[in-house]
Amino acid sequence: MNITKEGVKVMKLADLPKQIGKEVMINGKSIALFHLTNGDVRAVLNSCPHKNGPLAEGIVSGEFVFCPLHDWKISLVTGEVQKPDNGCVETFDTQIIDEYIYVTV
């Protein structure tokens, strides 16, 4: 793994299909990466604030992911759980540089 001031170089953008979450391990943390339909790349902790569901396996709709365990709807922009549920998942900055995804953990 290649660490720069931009963050950790994770993978090629072209290798991350849109709307399919992918788990990556960075500094011992399980991170869920998402390539949204608008082209943005988002990274959140791969652990639902409810009962640690693996968010990388959730269904993506727009800027939201639905947890695969109990269907909580979570913003991939702010990390906030949408009503009527409550909570927040940690988010991480991402950058695309020369076609590669970098995540700051």
* Residues 18, 4: Cα–Cα separation, whole Å: 25
Stretch binding ligand FES (CB under 6 A), from 9-17, 19-27, 68-76, 92-100: 68-76
Question: Is residue 13 helix, strand or coil?
Answer: helix
Binding part of the chain for ligand FES, among 11-19, 21-29, 50-58, 89-97 by CB under 6 A, reads 50-58
Q: What letter represents residue 87's amino acid?
A: G
7/58 with CB nearer ligand FES: 58
Number of amino acids touching ligand FES (CB under 6 A): 8
In this complex, which beta carbon is closest to ligand FES, that of residue 6 or of residue 57? Answer: 57
Q: Residue 79: how many CA atoms within 13 Å on its side-chain side?
A: 17
Residue 18 touching ligand FES (CB under 6 A): no
Token code pair at residue 38: 């608008």
User: From the CB of residue 64, how many other CB atoms can be counted at a distance below 10 Å?
Assistant: 17
- Lookup result for tokens 């998402």: 34
Binding site for ligand FES (CB under 6 A): 48, 50-51, 53, 67, 69-70, 72
